[in-house]
Amino acid sequence: MTVFMVRRLMQSVVVLLVMSVIVFLGVFAIGNPVDILISPDADQLERERAIRALGLDRPLWEQYFVFLANAAKGDLGRSFVFNEPALRLIFERMPATLELAGTAVVLSLVVGIPLGLYAGLKPQAATSKGIMAGSIVGFSLPTFWQGLMFIMVFAVMLGWLPSTGRGQIGTFLGIRSSLFTLDGLAHVILPAVNLALGNAALIIRLTRAGVRETLLQDYIKFARAKGLSHRRVVGVHVLRNILIPLVTVVGLEIAGLIAFAVVTESIFAWPGMGKLIIDSINQLDRPVMVAYLMMIVLLFIVINLIVDVLYSVIDPRVRLQDVKG
Amino acid sequence: MSAPSATAPGKIETPFRRLVSEFVEDRLAVLGAVVLAVILLVALFAPLISPQNPYDLSKLDILDSRLPPGSKSMDGITFWLGTDGQGRDMLSGIFYGLRTSLAVGVFSGILAMVVGMALGLTAAYAGGRTETLIMRLVDLQLSFPTILIALILLAVLGQGVGKIILALVIVQWAYYARTIRGTALVERRREYVEAAICLGLSKPRIIFGHILPNCMPPMIVIGTVQVAGAIALEATLSFLGIGLPITEPSLGLLIANGFEYLLSGKYWISFFPGIALLITIISINLVGDQLRDVLNPRLKR
């Protein structure tokens, strides 16, 4: 286990470094921020001073190493637009995104697993066919259009729910979140459901597929033959085995939801990281783009690591030491 | 795979005919296939069946703009699905948009499949360093959501049809590569491959003539899902304003154009292109779903 963890951590560092090069080169190849940040009326002297102040006059590799050294100290540069540390901008907006993604994950699990179980256990029932048809719709709905329709129906036509912003923010146990006020909850419903729907559909389909495959296994027949109750067979033997693919997918989906929040946040004007990155792409705010991407990479690496460890806890067949390095 | 058509006389069971007969068992899947065929025809013949050429500016009349569905135009055409901010017939816009969306989705899907299969088969056959390098790249890429990779690529590359296709290919190839490598590793230990080796066939011939056809079933399933995903992703990127340019409006851009009118209750500009997009993706997914069930030997009792 320790060997595995060390090896995985080292791998993660390598991935992080590789990604930092890709992100840095990729992002810093877009256009010239000098043209955007400095007014065209500025004279040559002012331009040069600004370029030097931003460190844009040095060779690219030098810029990269400066960037890397600073990154190690937690400094990912200052936003060209806000003139604030990029990392602080990200951290300011991260809670909003995590709140949205977290709500969406919980929603999709609470809805997805029971429906998937039902559809897997009774594949021929009309309800199951309905669930599966619904899941195909949920799976196929493009998030952005679905969000527009939510706004149209629930905000414009019915006027039930607000369509933009995060609403009032409450504090509970030192955590600030809009989940703690009624107004905030009303604001979170539409974006969270919008984000969760596709995911719920995926979980329904995975659960159903897992159940269908597991039910054909010999050990299920054996458990039945032993006279175990239906409840126990499903609740213990089936559920435990479908958890394995589910944990992997849910882990990756959390990461995916945080990334896909870009779309939902843009539509619902949710003040999270996703909206920040779209704005920075449009404004060519390179430090913010780099900081966002590095944070996302870090987040994904951590999530993947957690998923791997959970995997071995749930499935004793997975011997972590055997994973090829 | 030289499969005779399903309507050929005689009752000899061929893999293809068995596939068709199992496929039609699910009525929903058949419906999906029929709808998909209609959509493909509409996209193919859009210029012939559209009531109006939506990109011929001389045909547009600003007085016709933002008309609700069913209105009549100044010169007597009925706008069944209403018009957009420029007085463009939505139905025609959707037909042309479908054309762009489908072309981009299918073309990038095929390209990604070719690239993915080539790299995946290379990895499976070459082994060693090559395999490690390719598969690490696959792992690295698959650990990031497609939208994020596409976002970065398009931010770097800029806009354009070629660029979005490139981005979609880069986003998708890894899925094909991983799957075909797994299948190919199993297939190459089969007896027929040993037999082919004993016969002294060349390596490319064994790989492409014998192993590749047997790897196709999972590739077809992934292909359908990926094309649907590519169409949705392209629409999303175009909606965010970093996808296709305005000169080649796909369904995503049509929906984005309607966003500003949505809050004032002019729903049709966003609504109908979205429905078209949804029906397209659903029918592809229905077909893909049934193909997966039919082609998956683990579900056969």
User: What's the pLDDT tens digit per position in A166-215?
Assistant: 766 666 666 666 666 667 777 888 888 888 888 888 889 888 888 888 88
CB pairs under 8 A between A and B: 109
Residue A54 has pLDDT above 90, yes or no: no
The pLDDT score that the predictor gives to residue B6 is 47
Secondary structure letter of residue B79 according to DSSP: E
Neighboring chain B residues of A216 at a CB cutoff of 8 Å:
298, 301
Question: First vs last Cα of chain B: how many Å apart?
Answer: 25
The domain A92-271 is classified under which CATH number: 3.30.70.1140, 1.10.3720.10, 1.10.510.10, 3.40.50.360?
Answer: 1.10.3720.10
* A325 pLDDT higher than 60: no
Query: Å from B84 to nearest chain A CA?
Result: 16
**Residues of chain B found within 8 Å of residue A152, distances taken between Cβ atoms:** 262, 267, 270-271
What b/e sequence results for B90-123 when a residue is b if at least 16 CB atoms lie within 10 Å of its CB, and e otherwise?
bbbbbbbbbbbbbbbbbbbbebbbebbbebbbbb
Nearest CA in chain B to A16: B140
Q: Does the pLDDT value for residue B139 go beyond 90?
A: no
Q: Which among B276, B279, B282 has a CA at the least distance from the CA of B254?
A: B276
- In the prediction, which pLDDT does A31 show? 54
Nearest Cβ partner of B143 from A144, A293, A300?
A: A300
Asked if B277 is an interface residue toward chain A (Cβ–Cβ < 8 A), one would say yes
User: What is residue A171's DSSP assignment?
Assistant: E
Instruction: Note whether B295 contacts A: Cβ–Cβ < 8 A.
Output: no
Strands B71-72, B78-79: pairing kind? antiparallel
Tokens read off for B276: 């078209």
What pLDDT band is residue A245 in, cutting at 50, 70 and 90?
A: confident
- How many whole angstroms separate alpha carbon A154 and alpha carbon A143? 16
Out of B140, B235, B271, closest to residue A142 by CB: B235
Tell if the CB–CB gap between B239 and A263 is shorter than 8 Å: yes
Token pair 């809050």: residue = B263
Contacts of B2 (CB under 8 A, 6+ apart): none
Give the pLDDT confidence score for residue B2 in this predicted structure.
44
* Structural domains of chain B sorted by starting position, each given as residue range(s) with its CATH number in brackets: 24-42+85-299 (1.10.3720.10)
ipTM of predicted assembly, 2 dp: 0.73
Q: How far apart are CA A162 and CA A183, in angstroms?
A: 9
Q: Which of residues 223-242 of B touch A (CB under 8 A)?
A: 228, 232, 235-236, 239-242
Closest-CA residue of B relative to A256 is B145
Strand runs labelled E in chain A: 170-172, 175-177
Chain A residues whose CB is inside 8 A of the B147 CB are: 259-260, 262-263
Q: In chain A, which residue's Cα lies nearest the Cα of B233?
A: A142
User: Closest to B255 (Cβ–Cβ): which among A145, A213, A256?
Assistant: A145
Instruction: Identify the pLDDT of residue B108.
Output: 92
| Residue B239 near residue B249, CB atoms below 8 Å | no
Query: Which pair of structure tokens corresponds to residue A108?
Result: 């999709």
The most confident of A37-41, A52-56, B2-6, B173-177, by mean pLDDT: B173-177
* Structure tokens, B251: 């369904």
- Reading the block at residue B93, the tokens are 């816009």
Q: Sorting pLDDT into bands at 50, 70 and 90, what band is B1?
A: very low
Chain A interface, mutation test: which of B239, B277, B299, most A Cβ atoms within 10 Å?
B239
Of B6, B35, B25, the residue nearest B290 (C-alpha) = B25
Q: Is B78 helix (H, G, I), strand (E, B) or coil?
A: strand
Chain B interface test: which of A8, A20, A148, A268 (most B C-beta within 10 Å): A148
DSSP assigned state of B71: E
How far, in Å, CA of B99 to CA of B105, rounded? 10
If you ran DSSP here, which 8-state letter would residue A157 be given? I
Determine the residue of chain B that is closest to A32 in CA distance: B156
What's the gap in Å between the CA of A171 and the closest CA on chain B? Answer: 32
Question: Is the minimum CB–CB distance between B285 and chain A shorter than 8 Å?
Answer: yes
Residue of A136, A156, A263 with shortest CB distance to B240? A263
Check: CB of residue A278 under 8 Å from CB of residue A266.
yes
Q: How far apart are CA B71 and CA B78, in angstroms?
A: 6
Per-domain residue ranges of chain A: 92-271
Whole-number pLDDT of residue B3: 47
Residue A53 class from Cβ within 10 Å (0-12 exposed, 13-18 middle, 19+ buried)?
exposed
Asked whether residue A267 carries a pLDDT value surpassing 70, the answer given is yes
For residue A324, give every residue at least 6 positions away whose Cβ sits within 8 Å of its Cβ, in sequence order, or none. none
Other Cβ atoms less than 10 A from the Cβ of A199: the count is 26
pTM score, whole prediction: 0.77
A227: left (phi over 0), alpha (psi -120 to 50) or beta: left
The shortest CB-CB distance from A140 to any of B259, B285, B301 is to: B285
Q: Per-residue pLDDT tens for B12-31?
A: 777 777 777 777 777 888 88
Collect all residues of chain A within an 8 Å Cβ-Cβ radius of residue B274: 142, 145, 148-149
Q: CA of B252: which chain A residue's CA is closest?
A: A145
Mean pLDDT, residues B242-246 = 75
Tell me the nearest-neighbour CA distance from A52 into chain B, angstroms.
Answer: 24
- Closest CA in chain B for residue A19: B140
| Residue B192 near chain A (CB below 8 Å) | no
Site from A128, A144, A302 to mutate, B interface, most B CB atoms within 10 angstroms? A144
What DSSP string runs through A137-148?
A: HHHHS-HHHHHH
